[in-house]
Chain A
Amino acid sequence: MTTLHLDWTRCRGRGGCVELLPELIGRDEWGYPLTATDVPVPRALRGAAEQAVRDCPRMALQLSPRFAE
């Protein structure tokens, strides 16, 4: 399954991924994405995940085919 990987060292909580993937990513009280570092992406959300990767202004997101660790 495809996994969405978040690089916490790049993320500054801009929130684009939260808006594109509300099913997978919430927002914590400090504005950061409320998610694990590696999140399995269901097939139906694959397109939204790809857009989140493209749109992140911090380039903090990557998709990988490997399983979340």
Chain B
Amino acid sequence: MTRGRLAGRPVAAVGVGFSEVARRSNRPLGSLAVQACTRAVEDAGLSVDDIDGLSNYPNASRMGAGDVDGLDTVGVNFIAQAFNLRNLRWSTSITQGTVTASAVEAVYAVAAGACDYALVWRGMHNPANFGQPDLRATGDRPEFNYPYGDIHNVMRFSFPYSRYMAKYGATREDMATLIAKIRLSASVNEEAVFYRQPITREDYFGGKMIAEPLSRLDCDMPVDGCAAVVFTTAERARDLRRKPAHVSGAASLGLNYSTTPAFLLEEFQAGAAQLAKALWSSCGLSACDIDQANVYDGFSYFIYLYLEALGFCGEGEAASILGGRTAASDLPPFNTNGGALGMGRLHGSPQMIEAIKQIQGRALDQVPGAEVTLAQTGGPTTGNGALVFTSEPL
């Protein structure tokens, strides 16, 4: 097997765009998606007619949501129709891995020549009247979990965190420090749902406890919004408006190897480690090469798991480092735009777009001389993708 270089034509990200993002919006999700995609295409200096590839992760934003394309979700059919994309020659919809994993598919398609300009987006819907989950305890997880009141995702995802805290001595004090830092980053980011809303450590402790140990402030805020990214060949990228963010590493993995009724910390760690191994072997790089990192934070403690699994620090060390109990290691700046915890629940789009903007030298909290960045998003055992961007082709 060839190691250390992605196969096919070199690929770069050339345009990014967010729609307006709100806790709740009166606008149809399809409109927000059109806005984000249009902005990304224009950001690249392209027109929508140039788009000949689409890749998307269309899953409904929440349990019990509807599935009308253009209202509840935004999939490839809606985008192809809304923009009347007559030059389309490749598209795919993935079922696991969030926006980064769908971006990995787009990168592979451009690399293979299946298309030249691939558009990737993630639309998230959050209406006030969102449906409740189907409470029939049918199917493995419902059958063995729902009768005990283990139904919603916040509780479901709190199990690995309770074990992490017990196993490594992590505390809510550690997390308060991290959350306050993230919200400070988001507070100056106009595209963030928490723009101008910094919080203190004390605010974190006062936040509503949902399913202990996860409080509301440990969860990314559900929003209405969409984000989009355009990929093309490095050769074409040279003639476009923005500095290319070259895709030098890519991996899409993180599948579930067990069927336990609870998410187990050790399986999360194994899933994250497998993704990290695939990512680093795709580019021949490692954590010490990364100038700026963006890791997934759908739930706050994911940041610990991914920083550790990707090799930015040792197993069980992240909480004490980020909590300020252990002297800072050589951790690079990470989630500098506020991530999903600060920008809103856009399923990995904040991570991917920040990694690209840092390479392009136009991030809000720009890391001077950032030449290698990372974007990783998704659940450790529910589908997970990662990309490494570089300022020059590897």
- The yes or no verdict on A and B being binding partners is no
